Amino acid sequence: METPQLSSLYQQLILEHYRSPRNKGDLPDKTVEIHMRNPSCGDEIRLQLRIEDGRIAEAKFVGSGCSISQAAVSMMTGLIKGRALDEADALAERFKEMMHGDEAAAKDRSMGDLRALAGVSKFPVRVKCALLGFDALQEALKQTAGGEEH
Ligand code: ZN
């Protein structure tokens, strides 16, 4: 599938995460694992989180697929580590806003390297690739919330 035309700086950052993904590998002491697929592109990820005291203590993934999907989950795992669950959920919501073309979200510094993916919003087919990791994250948060006593 054709790679969207993004600015070259952002393109480099995406390829750099794709070639040297952060937090890739199995997490033996995970507390939740979510497997997500994007059949339209062939992307696949298994997101593994260790949640302690309402925070994401550790986040790892294994997966395969296009550069957008793998770079997005690499960037995401780096940003969610150490965050409270509601903060991680807020990041996912912010990222979705960016994928729907929200320009303020695209400039939000709290998004870190994820801002490199802002241009993907112009390519609806690829938005699913970028969102795959965050879909897995929100599913993991949902399952975790359901399993905890309130
Ligand atoms: Zn893809």
- pLDDT tens track for 24-69: 999 999 999 999 999 999 999 999 999 999 999 999 999 999 999 9
The Å distance, Cα 96 to ligand 1 centre, comes to 16
Quick check: 134 pLDDT over 70?
A: yes
Quick check: 71 pLDDT over 70?
A: yes
In a domain, 28, yes or no: yes
In a domain, 149, yes or no: no
The Å distance, Cα 57 to ligand 1 centre, comes to 28
The Å distance, Cα 149 to ligand 1 centre, comes to 37
Average pLDDT, the chain: 93
HEC string of 2-36 equals: CCCCCCHHHHHHHHHHHHCCCCECCCCCCCEEEEE
If 0-12 CB within 10 Å is exposed, 13-18 middle and 19+ buried, where does residue 9 land? Answer: exposed
The pTM score is 0.92
Number of domains forming the structure of the chain: 1
Q: What is the CATH number of the domain that holds 13?
A: 3.90.1010.10
The Å distance, Cα 131 to ligand 1 centre, comes to 10
Rounded to whole angstroms, the Cα distance separating 118 from 127 reads 10
In a domain, 29, yes or no: yes
